[in-house]
């Protein structure tokens, strides 16, 4: 990054996007970049972080790549400190990291349950904490986490994943209440079925029949929602979960006779 670019980034708004792999995280970074934010692209995969930063720059934005393992608190703290030193206190944090392992609750073992909660809930708590250490003294900030419709309703084989995402939605509400007085807003986006490389070959295409809008979501749908919640347009919105699912969760499964 050139000196001129560094100056521009310091004078403008900045964002941290955690989990900038080639789907939802990249879409969030691109959407924020289009809104004029300088984006710090964090991922445990150096190639993924670099590719996303390159994509933001190719679209006319400003971005840098950082490598971090979000399951390691010390690494998270150090990396966010590096971002602050290079780009200033972030105005926005978007945390996309998550993952699922499907099993009947009666069959799931402790190790799997613990790992699902760690990647979907604990690391969100850690990343938010370490970012708040900088946002609170600055008296500003917007945090957006990627939750799931699985945290809103029950479903088979979603025991640990649904519990983690429900916990994440609860955490969003608590962080919003605690940090509003510091000028910090905290919200969640809850995607439905999204067409991503990670879900390719899983049979998810058959879910389209259950979506009122008649298609699966695109990563850009989530990126745009996250960018909205992070923007000044949402300045009076906090503690909320924006469901982006094509209408799935408003459909009455018992009485709908289609």
- Residue 161 appears among annotated catalytic residues: yes
144 contacts 93 by C-beta, under 8 angstroms: yes
With a CB cutoff of 8 Å and minimum separation 6, the contacts of 63 are 29, 33, 38, 39, 40, 41, 52, 53, 54, 56, 57
Distance CA 74, CA 89 (A): 18
With a CB cutoff of 8 Å and minimum separation 6, the contacts of 41 are 17, 20, 25, 29, 49, 50, 52, 53, 56, 63, 64, 65, 66
Distance CA 115, CA 98 (A): 11
Helix ranges restricted to H, the chain: 3-11, 24-34, 46-58, 73-87, 110-117, 123-138, 159-179, 219-230
39 beta partners: 15, 63
* Main-chain phi, psi angles of 200, to 5 degrees: -65, 135
23 contacts 219 by C-beta, under 8 angstroms: yes
Give the pair of three-digit tokens for residue 229.
């919640």
Distance CA 24, CA 13 (A): 21
Closest to 148 in 3D by CA, of 124, 171, 127, 120:
120
- Indicate which residue of 37, 128, 132, 161 is catalytic: 161
**Which residues are part of the catalytic machinery?**
161
């Amino acid at each position: 990054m050139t000196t001129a670019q560094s100056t521009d980034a310091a004078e403008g708004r900045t964002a941290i996007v955690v989990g900038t792999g080639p789907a939802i995280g990249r879409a969030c970074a691109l959407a924020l970049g289009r809104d004029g934010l300088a984006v710090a692209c964090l991922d445990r995969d150096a190639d993924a972080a670099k590719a996303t930063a390159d994509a933001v720059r190719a679209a006319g934005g400003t971005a840098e790549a950082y490598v971090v393992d979000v399951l390691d608190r010390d690494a998270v703290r150090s990396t966010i400190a590096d971002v602050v030193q290079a780009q200033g206190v972030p105005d926005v944090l978007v945390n996309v990291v998550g993952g699922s392992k499907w099993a009947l609750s009666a069959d799931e073992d402790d190790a799997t349950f613990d790992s699902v909660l760690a990647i979907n809930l604990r690391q969100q708590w850690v990343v938010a904490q370490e970012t708040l250490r900088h946002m609170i003294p600055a008296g500003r900030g917007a945090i957006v986490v990627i939750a799931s419709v699985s945290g809103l309703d029950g479903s088979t084989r979603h025991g640990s994943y649904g519990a983690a995402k429900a916990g994440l939605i609860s955490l969003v509400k608590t962080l919003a209440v605690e940090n509003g007085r510091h000028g910090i807003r905290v919200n969640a986006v809850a995607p439905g079925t999204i067409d991503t490389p990670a879900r390719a070959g899983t049979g998810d295409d058959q879910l389209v029949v259950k979506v009122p809008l008649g298609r699966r979501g695109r990563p850009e749908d989530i990126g745009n929602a996250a960018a909205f919640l992070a923007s000044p347009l949402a300045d009076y919105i906090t503690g909320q979960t924006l469901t982006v699912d094509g209408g799935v969760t408003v459909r009455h499964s018992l009485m709908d006779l289609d």
